[in-house]
Amino acid sequence: MKILAYTDKNKSELVTVHEALRRRQHLPDQWEGHTYYDIVKLREMTPADRGKSSSFSFKSGAIVGHGTGSKGIAHELAQQFLCLQPKLSFNLFNKDFDVTIGLSEDEAHIADPNDQARFGYVDVMLHIDPNCPNYKLFSGRIAIEITDSHKSTFRKKKLYKDLGITAIEVVLPGDWHVRNDQQVTAMQLKHLEARVRGFWASRIFVNLICAKNKLK
């Protein structure tokens, strides 16, 4: 589930779930029952107190992607900014690739059509613009796994391979990692946002999880 949220649809303030819970406890007249908004698609959420594992839950009750687990603050910010990019430039095997993005999905669901028990969620699925020169090379889409402190499981890697999905891993700088239960100030969040924004603006180095077509 989500650790970060906007306090309103105008995206005027970004807070952690722990700050939202603190406000609900100490300023209930203003914040109890308050609706928060997902930082990618502005879906309505509410903070759920689970101690160190606290997270925002979608008001619809839908579980998206990581279920009751949480990805981490740096991971979630990186995921958000990637979903907002019109293009992605990356280096793989010392070769540069550029893709124009037609549509981005966070927590995209994938499943084996022959075995619905085999499924997973992609951090970000990039659907490539059909007019992009690299559209056919990547068969129209690229799955992006963002690694903050936890790598993709072998089970998910095999699912990518079996479904013929090209998947790459983006490893975030180690000093970006913030514990989910750590108290983070608004200034620290803004600083981390700026670093993430600059990261995606440049050509990034990625690792290959699997590829449908030969990329070397």
Instruction: Report d(CA 104, CA 121) in Å as an integer.
Output: 14
Confidence of residue 150 (pLDDT cuts 50, 70, 90): low
Q: What are the E-state strand segments in 76-140?
A: 87-92, 95-112, 115-128
- pLDDT (0 to 100) of residue 65: 54
- pLDDT (0 to 100) of residue 71: 66
Reduced to 3 states, what is the DSSP secondary structure of residue 5?
Answer: strand
Element (H, E) at 6: strand 4-6
Any idea which residue has 């100030």 for tokens?
185
- pLDDT (0 to 100) of residue 61: 57
The side-by-side arrangement of strands in the sheet containing 14-16 is 14-16, 4-6, 36-37, 44-48, 55-58
| Token pair belonging to 63 | 């579980």
Confidence of residue 187 (pLDDT cuts 50, 70, 90): confident
Q: 67 pLDDT exceeds 50?
A: no
Q: Among 36-40, 67-71, 141-145, 206-210, name the one with the lowest average pLDDT.
A: 67-71
Whether the Cβ atoms of residue 130 and residue 101 lie closer than 8 Å to each other: no
Q: Is the pTM of this model over 0.85?
A: no
Whether the Cβ atoms of residue 195 and residue 172 lie closer than 8 Å to each other: no
For 13-30, what is the mean pLDDT?
A: 94
- Asked whether the CA dihedral 49, 55, 60, 64 is positive or negative, the reply is negative
- pLDDT (0 to 100) of residue 1: 67
| Token pair belonging to 123 | 């951090």
For 46-67, what is the mean pLDDT?
A: 77
- pLDDT (0 to 100) of residue 170: 93
Instruction: Supply the mean pLDDT for the chain.
Output: 88
One-letter identity of residue 151: K
Q: What are the pLDDT digits (tens) for 70-118? A: 568 888 999 999 998 999 999 999 999 999 999 999 989 999 998 888 9
Q: pLDDT higher for 135 or 216?
A: 135
- pLDDT (0 to 100) of residue 116: 82
Q: 3 pLDDT exceeds 80?
A: yes
